[in-house]
Amino acid sequence: MIYTITFNPALDYIVRLDHLTTGTINRTEQEYVLGGGKGINVSIVLNNLGMNTTALGFIAGFTGDEIVRQLNNFGVRESFIRLKEGLTRINVKVKASDEETEINGRGPTISDDELQALYAQLDALTEQDTLILAGSIPSSLPSDMYEIIMKRLANKHIRIVVDATKDLLTRVLPYKPFLIKPNNHELSEIFGRTLSTKDDLVTAAKKLQSQGAQHVLISMAGDGAILVSADGTVYTSPAPKGTLINSVGAGDSMVAGFMTGYINTQDLQQALYWGIATGSASAYSENLATKNEVLALLDTITN
């Protein structure tokens, strides 16, 4: 089973309009309400690709209920901890023809008892399972939450994937995550300088491996992706051609696609192809990638 954790899920209220004018009334042309959060996105795409997955994390109030309803419609298993107080946050995303604006909510407070309930779920995982840690940590939880989890599970031989940024990522490296997935901009941020060439990115990836990471998957949007494997082999894949429609969830989709490819083939090059095809399928669609969309793009990469 592949488990994902979303510590800070949200209902994304997405509105599209021709032009945004502040200080006055604006009328939308389109609007959507979509349950989101990096781990949730990963579970949805894994499920679309036919993989067994369960979404973990915390939800609260009617907004949390709506996320569960949407996941049920997708057929995704969930085992969220239901918080006694507060509301799962709402993120407002305004997309105009000339600019985009986001207002992200804070989210509910998570008590120690509720956190202990999550730990009990994680303690039940076995070496047959994969755990994906993705996204930000709410202010009510320790900032080293990912480290705490990886230390707790260190002797259980669970395959752990981490998709996070800055210190949240670098501090887990001593616990030897199976896969980390920074993009080229996030790598530049970690190392404090612009990494613009393949050699620069590979060197940075190997530096992270020297600190404990096993496989490093680097996404580069329209320039494709690079995988530096645990044995130092460098794999590359171009991005398939398409029109960018919505980049939200593309990185999460890449993680889902990579793990699908790896689990099904045990071949890292094939896993990379699956990752880039799945990430691109989401980027070229209004919604998260479906299996048919992924297979169509995969065919253009591998043939």
Supply the DSSP string of 164-196, one letter for each residue: --HHHHHTTGGG--SEE--BHHHHHHHHTS---
Whether 222 maps to a domain, the answer reads yes
pLDDT tens, residue order, the chain (303 aa) = 999 999 989 998 989 888 888 899 999 998 989 888 899 999 999 999 999 999 999 999 999 999 999 999 999 999 999 999 999 999 998 988 878 888 988 888 899 999 999 999 999 999 999 999 998 888 888 889 999 999 999 989 999 999 988 888 999 999 999 999 998 889 899 888 888 888 899 999 999 999 999 999 999 887 889 999 999 999 999 889 888 887 778 899 999 999 999 999 999 999 999 999 999 999 998 889 999 999 999 989 887
Q: Which of 12, 129, 163, 252 is catalytic?
A: 252
CA nearest neighbour of 272 among 228, 232, 211, 213: 228
Q: What is the pLDDT of residue 68?
A: 95
- The predicted structure's pLDDT at residue 130: 97
Q: How many structural domains are present in the chain?
A: 1
C-alpha to C-alpha distance for 95 and 120, rounded to whole angstroms? 40
**CB 134 within 8 Å of CB 255:** yes
Angle formed by the axes of helices 198-210 and 184-191, to 10°? 60
Q: Is residue 240 part of a domain?
A: yes
Q: Is 85 within a domain?
A: no
pLDDT at 178: 97
Query: Is 77 among the domain residues?
Result: no
Q: What is the pLDDT of residue 153?
A: 95
> Range of 131's domain?
2-6+38-62+109-302
Q: Examine residue 15 and state whether it is found in any structural domain, yes or no.
A: no
CATH number for the domain that contains residue 165: 3.40.1190.20
- Is 99 part of any domain? no
Q: What is the pLDDT of residue 21?
A: 86
Residue 70 maps to a domain: no
Instruction: Locate the DSSP E strands across the chain.
Output: 2-6, 10-17, 30-36, 53-59, 77-78, 81-82, 89-96, 100-104, 130-134, 159-163, 179-180, 215-219, 225-228, 234-237
Strand pairing class (77-78; 53-59): parallel
- 108-125 in b/e burial notation, b at 16+ Cβ within 10 A? bebeeebbeebeeebeeb
- Residue 207 in domain: yes
- pLDDT in the model for residue 163: 93
Annotation marks residue 252 as catalytic = yes
